[in-house]
Amino acid sequence: MSMIKEAIRETSLSLRHRPGSRLVTLLMVSLAFVVFDTFLIISFNLQNLMDRERGAIGMEVFLEVGVSEAEARTIGDLIAGIQGVESVYYVSPAEAEALFRSELPEHSDLLEVMGNEFSLPASLQVTFVDQAGREDVMESVSRAVSAMEGVRETVYGEDFLPGLIRTVSTIRRLVLLLGIVLVFSISMVVFYTVRLSVVRRALTVDIMRTVGAPWWFIRIPFVVEGVIMGTAGSAGGLILAASLSSILASAVSHRFIPPGWITVVILLGAFTGTIGALAGSYEKERRK
């Protein structure tokens, strides 16, 4: 118990010594986390946007000319029974023409050129349940629906859906890569700060080693120092990032990162501080 009290006292003395250098380190760690948090906010909002767009992708099934409404609804019932399909809506030729005129008014004269005998094909609009709008699911449904009698073709965004999925995957990889770079860079900053602390307290460290103090007793003040700098730096970065986010909220609509991600950032700061402190104290102790 007395050794624990002494370890706490040594930690307190170490933290009070030369606060200016620790303040500089804390500022550097906070600025590094501001960059990481800013990228995290951007990637979080982009991923949410892309997930919404991906979830909104449906399938349009164009029917053969001459398929009656009753036959179309029968086909729709068959499609509705496929796993992953949420709903099927029948679009008559007249409704398809009305939609065309309302959505593409600048091209409505094309219908006049085609003549009265021409009519847009009837179709079925298919929507999918949550998490079912994946490329493999939609491709499987498309093959099954295309094989049905009376179906001319299916369209489900196959031209841009793979690119959208690749974009989401790329964003996730960039966040992971930036996290790895952040861990390394901040660990090095804490490493050199703790190493300087060990040098400044070299006489105290030598005395403790001479009297037989255990390794954890010698290094715990430096490890605590690293944990505090990493945790406080990540928290400071979050505060600065939140301030910037609130300032820009009126100009650019976005959401701040959720509480779960905030916890991860704080833990990441504590982890990097611990790694840097352990490496810094170990390196100097080994050389001595």
DSSP string, 33-77: HHHHHHHHHHHHHHHHHHHHHHHH--EEEEEPTT--HHHHHHHHH
Task: Give the separation between CA 93 and CA 98, rounded to whole angstroms.
Answer: 9
**pLDDT attached to residue 41:** 86
User: If you ran DSSP here, which 8-state letter would residue 30 be given?
Assistant: H
Dihedral (C-alpha) 66, 68, 74, 76: value to the nearest 10 degrees? 70
In the block, tokens 């992708």 appear at 57
Task: Report which of residues 206 and 96 the model is more confident about.
Answer: 96
Order of all β-strands in the sheet with 151-155:
85-91, 123-128, 59-63, 151-155
**pLDDT attached to residue 287:** 43
100-157 residue pLDDT tens: 777 667 666 666 666 566 667 888 888 877 654 566 677 788 888 888 888 888 887 6
**pLDDT attached to residue 235:** 92
Average pLDDT over residues 65-91: 86
The tokens of 7 are what?
């370890």
In the block, tokens 């499987």 appear at 140
19-31 residue pLDDT tens: 666 677 788 888 8
Q: How confident is the model at residue 5 (pLDDT cuts 50, 70, 90)?
A: low
| Portions of the chain given CATH number 3.30.70.3040 | 58-156
Give me the helices (H) in the chain, please: 2-16, 19-56, 69-80, 93-103, 109-114, 135-146, 161-200, 202-210, 215-248, 259-287
**pLDDT attached to residue 134:** 60
Q: Thinking of the domain 58-156, which architecture would CATH place it in?
A: 2-Layer Sandwich (3.30)
- Residue 17's H or E segment, with its range, is none
Counting residues of the chain whose pLDDT is more than 90, the rounded percentage is 4
Residue-averaged pLDDT of the chain = 76
The tokens of 105 are what?
């008014």
